[in-house]
Amino acid sequence: MADNALFGIHGAALEVRAQRMGMLASNIANASTPGFKAKDVDFRAALAGAERGGNVDSSIERNTLYRLPLQPSMDGNTVELVTEQTAFAENAVAYQTTLAFLNGRISTINRALKGE
Amino acid sequence: MPAPMSIFEVSGRAMSAQLVRMNTTASNLANAGAVATTQDAAYRTMKPVFRTSFDAASGLATVDAREIVKAGEAPAKRYDPSNPLADPEGNVWEAAVDEPRELVDMLDAARTYQNNVEVMSTTKSLITETLRLGR
């Protein structure tokens, strides 16, 4: 999937971004659950793994790590809303960027096919 | 076989868990200052118990309010013979509600709820944009 001739790396990137969005949403959902440990994907490593190995899902699984809290709370919860919100916003913007790249590719091909 | 969890389910269930928390806080605050004749009849603070629910198929995790428990301190005895609810010794039992703590809890529940709403609307707009891909 990563060496897709039409979309290049962007198909795999979109998949990693989508999975990361779910993971960050899970963290935010569990912001007040005692003992919950926040997780996140190392995007760069996950995408590099997907480029080498080809399977995006297993690469994401290998590169998912527990978040190290800046200030651990007494109930064992490691979700820090500031961190999670920032990461979620950044991830959403990056997702939109990838969508823009994909749209660019599609319109390029469309134009070539129509011979404009 | 249940369908794999979606981000909407993650945020939606977290929102209903926070709503349960908000409801218990409202009940606690409404009953603050209430008195009763016996210790057993006096109001005690209610709290929801949150538990993470993992979904192995999608790797997502959401939260549920599993049960509601009576928590906090025991009702306090106060001597007030003129109160119509007083027992033969002239004592009433006051509801055990820590008001500042309940207010803080209410603010936290509201903020977490808003966060989940934000996650849901961002996800919705990104999915709609993905569906429009190439148009």
- Of residues A47 and B135, the one with the higher pLDDT is A47
**Measured between CB atoms, does A100 come within 8 Å of chain B?**
no
Distances (CA, A) of B35 to B30, B45, B72, B101: 12, 13, 17, 20
b/e per residue, A71-89, with b = 16+ CB within 10 A?
eeeeeebbbbeebbbebbe
Test A96 with B14 for CB contact under 8 angstroms. no
Residue window 97-116, chain B: list those with CB within 8 Å of chain A. Answer: 108-109, 111-112, 115-116
Q: Examine the predicted complex and report whether its ipTM is higher than 0.95.
A: no
Q: Which residues contact A75 (CB under 8 A, 6 or more apart)?
A: A34, A35
In this prediction, residue B96 has a pLDDT band, given cuts at 50, 70 and 90, of confident
| pLDDT tens, residue by residue, B125-135 | 999 999 998 87
The domains of chain A are located at: 10-114
**Measured between CB atoms, does A92 come within 8 Å of chain B?**
yes
Q: Which residues contact A68 (CB under 8 A, 6 or more apart)?
A: A78
In this prediction, residue B13 has a pLDDT band, given cuts at 50, 70 and 90, of very high
**Measured between CB atoms, does A28 come within 8 Å of chain B?**
yes
Beta bridge partners of B91: B79
In this prediction, residue A3 has a pLDDT band, given cuts at 50, 70 and 90, of low
| pLDDT tens, residue by residue, B54-71 | 988 888 999 999 999 998
DSSP B38-85: STTTS-B-EEEEEEEEEETTTTEEEEEEEEEEE-SPPPEEEE-TTSTT
Test A34 with B7 for CB contact under 8 angstroms. no
Residue that has been written with the tokens 């064992």 in this structure: A76
**Measured between CB atoms, does B14 come within 8 Å of chain A?**
yes
The domains of chain B are located at: 7-130
